[in-house]
Amino acid sequence: MERLFLVHVLFTMCWAVPQDLSGKMFTFPKESDSDHVGLIPKEENYPSVTVCLRYFTDVKRAFSIFSMATPTSTNDFLLFKESNGDMELHVRYVGSTFTGLPDEQNMWMALCGSWDSVTGLSQIGYTAGSVLNGKPIIILGQEQDSYGGNFDKGQSFIGQLSVVEKLFF
């Protein structure tokens, strides 16, 4: 019980205190509809987004790795891994599926997803001229079915995340 309390305190501290995440690793030890790391950026409008991270898991089911929601869109920018190993990148509910990518369990895997509104170029061909606007809430380890919450434990990440870098321009 003390360990669960400590995990809750650590997650709460990560949510409440601004800090540099360089060199940090987040561990999600079990399937959950509550365990996550929340990041709340200061900016509100994003004409482009790039996210790079490394993850390690033995899970073969579908899971969310990175979920950015705004008040008007729960899937403004989403990196989601399907159970068959395909990786999905969603921008405003429009997604592309990438097949044939390495799908190794129990190995560190590197992943980057990127989108640019000016050109519409990214790993998905999303309509140019749109900006992701509104105060975002970024969640690691869960997929947001509502702004900042409503998690589904069947979509939770189990494993370790490291070197999380988000670049907004």
| Ordered DSSP codes for 72-125 | TEEEEEEEEE-TTS-EEEEETTEEEEE-S----SSS-EEEEEEEETTT--BSS-
Dihedral, CA of residue 80, residue 146, residue 151 and residue 111, to nearest 10: 20
Q: What is the pLDDT of residue 167?
A: 58
Ordered by where they begin, the domains of the chain are 2-168 (2.60.120.200)
- pTM, rounded to two decimals: 0.69
Q: What is the pLDDT of residue 126?
A: 29
Q: What is the pLDDT of residue 168?
A: 53
Burial class (CB in 10 A: 0-12, 13-18, 19+), 120: middle
Mean pLDDT for back-to-back runs of 10 residues, the chain (169 residues): 41 50 82 89 85 87 91 89 88 82 81 82 46 78 87 90 63
Contacts with 169 (C-beta within 8 Å, 6 or more apart), sequence order: 46, 47, 48
